[in-house]
Amino acid sequence: MHHRSVSDASRSPPELAVCGGPPAFASPRYVGTPGIPDRATLHARLDAMLDARRLTNDGPFAREFEARLGELNGGVEAVAVCNATIGMQLLLKALGVAGEVVLPSFTFIATAHACAWEGCEPVFADVDERTHVLDADSVAAKLSDRTAAIVGVHLWGRMCPVEALEALAAARGIPLVFDAAHALGCTHRGRPMGGLGTASVVSFHATKLVQSLEGGAILTADRDLAARLRLMRNFGFAGYDHVVALGTNAKLDEFSAAVGIGSLDCLERIVARNRANRVAYREALDGLPGLSLYEYDEAEDNNFQYLIAVVDPARCPLARDELVAVLHAENVIARRYFHPGCHRSAPYAARPVVLPVTERLSERLIAFPTGEGVDAADIARIGTILETACARAGAVRHALSEGRRARLAA
């Protein structure tokens, strides 16, 4: 393994943009740059859609997309919806969840919002420091007579402690559902994630591994639940003019489904690129003090959709937010996932709760650009930027301070 100190760069380092130099990248490198399906095949599908004049309402592309998602996830039912947030709301409504819902604060805000939008009260539990997913002991401590469901979040493609959460849910006779927005193509003990718990919700937002512009799906082995969800996503219609249930409009349109099918077609290519990028980041960050890559379970399948690093403030010359500011100045749009945590965000911050692991992680994590929006040369350059910033920590901190003063004076 190569080791280096921040002061022994083997090449002439660039002038950092935050200190007055030009940005390293002329165009931004984003977290979640969309993977683009084969254009010729996509155009052919769109021509077929337009020729048929079938644009929505459970069309052939939506049904094909569902069938392929179900097959990918071990033969479960897949119910395609317009986005994953609505999918989670629809699922909670279909399960009759009313009361408190225990979930992690360390997640995208939509997970909590979906629960609150359905009239449930989010109760935030802490996560495991190593895996970043729900800590089952913390969940157990948050359960009450009002608990109506547990919502786990499979983060960075890492599965929750499924068996421990299933035991907690079964003991109380409540559903266990998963926000699986990060977990398509990932496994738990060799099992595809779609059959875990009562149901799982996946996202096909443009920034996700598989994208359909906007979109999502609910995956479940419960056929009755799937049938109920299909009614509910289409206003409760069981025929042209026969309404049998309360419903809403949560359908996935044909254009989005066609993009989703094309994205599934190139899934292996995108995962291979993510895996190669991870190898490149490991080399680029190797030896930088206080900066370590998130470790996956090598025994499981993973999509490597997120490239996460943890900053150790006791060892790294610069704080996480200072590193992010340096990168942004270079047009590397790294993200502070998940900052500041749902429990510190409106409207939930009005009910104070202390979650020490969540609070530490929200101050220490960086998500780097990966996917098809970066290549090995880009990643090497990002490594050089970070190495230079750490070697010149005093100058960087001074430049950031001067920049803040200038903005306040403007």
Give the per-residue pLDDT at 403: 80
Q: Residue count of the chain, please give it.
A: 410
Burial of 302 (0-12, 13-18, 19+ CB in 10 A): buried
Tokens of 25: 């990248």
Q: Residue 269 phi/psi, 5° resolution?
A: -65, -45
Tokens of 19: 């200190």
Q: Are 149 and 177 in contact (CB under 8 A)?
A: yes
Architecture (CATH level 2) of domain 17-34+267-334+369-409: Alpha-Beta Complex (3.90)
User: What one-character DSSP code corresponds to residue 331?
Assistant: T
- Side chain identity at residue 270, one-letter code: I
The SS3 of residue 404 is: helix
Burial of 20 (0-12, 13-18, 19+ CB in 10 A): exposed
CA distance 6 to 199: 47
pLDDT digits (tens, 9 = 90+) for 319-367: 999 999 999 999 999 999 999 999 999 999 999 899 999 999 999 999 9
pLDDT digits (tens, 9 = 90+) for 285-313: 999 999 999 999 999 999 999 999 999 99
pLDDT digits (tens, 9 = 90+) for 75-92: 999 999 999 999 999 999
Give the per-residue pLDDT at 8: 38
Helix, strand, coil tally for the chain in percent (to 5): 40, 15, 40
Cross-strand pairs, 79: 218
CA distance 318 to 302: 31
User: What does R_g of the chain's alpha carbons equal in angstroms?
Assistant: 23
Domain ranges of the chain: 17-34+267-334+369-409, 39-265
Q: Are 125 and 138 in contact (CB under 8 A)?
A: yes
Instruction: Collect the ranges in the chain with pLDDT lower than 70.
Output: 1-14, 405-406, 408-410
Give the per-residue pLDDT at 139: 98
Same topology, domains 17-34+267-334+369-409 and 39-265? Answer is no
Give the per-residue pLDDT at 11: 40
39-265 has which CATH code?
Answer: 3.40.640.10
